[in-house]
Amino acid sequence: MTLRPTQASTFSLVQSGLRLNMARLVRAQEQVATGKRILRPSDDAAGTSISQSFLRQIAQVDSWLESVSGASTRLSAASSRLQDASGILTEARSIATASMNGTLSSADRLGYASQLEQMAVNLMEIGNSSFGERYLFSGTSTTTKPFDIVDTPDGKRVVYHGDEGRSTALVGRDVEIDTSLPGSEIFASSDPTGTEYAGLTGAKSGTSADMGSGYETLHVRTVAVTGLPQEGVMATGDATIIGDHALTVDAAAGTIQLGSGPTLSIPTPLPTEFEVRDADGSTLTLDLSGWTGVGFAGTATGAGEISLDGTSWTAFNGTETNLQLVDDASGAVVHVDLTCVTRAGEETLVFEGTTNVIDTLLGMAHDLRNDQDLDPAALLDTMSLRLDELTAGQDRLLVALGDLGSRQSRLDRADQRLGDLRIQLQGLESEVTDADLSEVVLDMSRAEQTLQVAQATGSRLLQQSLLNYLR
């Protein structure tokens, strides 16, 4: 019995061959067009798994590179602003030094005071710099404005509202780099080294440890003067002497002298208010209208009171070596040696190593305005005290600039390292998924030729007519 293939089976066989060869040609064309060997997981399951692993690593590297880019931009902005601040402090030191010239007039001092105040404002504006919607120098509280100037009984002070935290950027697996510095570290310090007095009153540090930060004002006042009248000479009006001060009236020469201060001629007619000054700057106002014309060498003694907050006063007799004073508003506690206090006044004291450089500029401006009627020597002492802190503040800022610079260098190295790693991972991923172009082009040519042969063969097999069945 002769077996004869049916027309349907022949057509099915030709269709299957055409479909298979067309699929091979299409796949080869896709590989040539994309340059990829693996176009779908079914192409190579193991290779797809390896490729996905590399792609996940590349995505992780991309996230690190994005973090590096953002951190680098933020650090650059912070460094730029601190360089501006450094320039301001350099100029401020020059002005402060020039303002300490004892030959300056009151108008000159006021001019310098205005310049220093403006520099303080400019410095605070730098401290409040922002990058986008975030403040640069407020620690991790980047939405909180870090600095503000407030009025206090002792003058203007700056207040820091940020925190002590540091923002970080993840630049690798378990590798973080700080991308900020809190303003409290840049413009202030928290490394106390002791309490220093300007030297106006003669007060010194006691034996116990003090507690506080920045600047405080020590208030000393004269509440009574004893030892007068003598020969009709009376104490009247304001006095700033504390303790014993010799008072000498030379009738023959017609002069009067307080301690080792200048010798002054007794005016005619005899005044009801005549101020004499000791070498330490303390003063005594005398009523000479009742002077009998007889000379004498006596002693005027000033009884004093002292306060740290200007409200709570404590009497002292000059024998205290460790008197404790408290300012409830600021929390400051100081221990004062009063054995060398000879004059009243408002004296600046500083908790060294804890000052804010903006406060220092504001304090200098306050001193130059001479609100306390300081004599040139006292003004020089107070300004010298603040100038030391200004120098220390500038040094801190330069350290902060160096710190930011070193972090920028680390970010640059991280960027280079991550860029190289990304290229390496891309190369490894390409080795798995990329096609050999010469090979796939050859495969495409073969698939095309095979398809053409299949099409020709199929066309011949399917060329049938009714005559083929009539025998």
Query: Please, which residues have CB within 8 angstroms of residue 76's CB and are 6 or more apart in sequence?
Result: 408
Q: Give the pLDDT confidence score for residue 31 in this predicted structure.
A: 62
Q: What percent of the chain has pLDDT over 90?
A: 46
Q: Which residue has the higher pLDDT, 133 or 278?
A: 278
Average pLDDT score over residue span 170-198: 86
Burial letters 364-375, b for 16+ CB under 10 A, else e: bbbbbbbebebb
The interaxial angle of helices 106-127 and 45-99, nearest 10 deg, is 170
Q: What is the tens place of the pLDDT at every residue in 188-202? A: 887 888 899 998 999
Measured distance CA(419)–CA(458) in Å, rounded:
55
Name all contacts of 57-61 with Cβ < 8 Å and 24+ positions apart: 57/425, 58/422, 58/425, 58/426, 58/429, 61/418, 61/421, 61/422, 61/425
Q: Give the pLDDT confidence score for residue 455 in this predicted structure.
A: 59
236's enclosing H/E stretch is strand 234-239
Coil, strand or helix: which one is 264? strand
377's enclosing H/E stretch is helix 376-433
Q: Give the pLDDT confidence score for residue 451 in this predicted structure.
A: 58
Q: Give the pLDDT confidence score for residue 288 in this predicted structure.
A: 94
Determine if the peptide bond prior to 269 is cis (ω within 30°). Answer: yes
Alpha carbon separation from 179 to 64, 136, 166, 169, 450 (Å, rounded): 14, 9, 7, 6, 63
| The Cα angle at residue 161 between residues 129 and 115, in degrees rounded to 5 | 55
Q: Which residue has the tokens 């176009």?
A: 39
Measured distance CA(338)–CA(304) in Å, rounded:
10
Query: Please, which residues have CB within 8 angstroms of residue 54's CB and are 6 or more apart in sequence?
Result: 425, 426, 428, 429, 432
Q: What is the tens place of the pLDDT at every residue in 427-464? A: 887 777 656 566 666 666 666 666 566 656 666 655 55
Alpha carbon separation from 89 to 100, 242, 247, 351, 360 (Å, rounded): 17, 38, 46, 20, 11
Q: Give the pLDDT confidence score for residue 12 in this predicted structure.
A: 67
Q: Give the pLDDT confidence score for residue 254 in this predicted structure.
A: 94
How does the average pLDDT of the chain come out, rounded? 85
Measured distance CA(71)–CA(178) in Å, rounded:
9
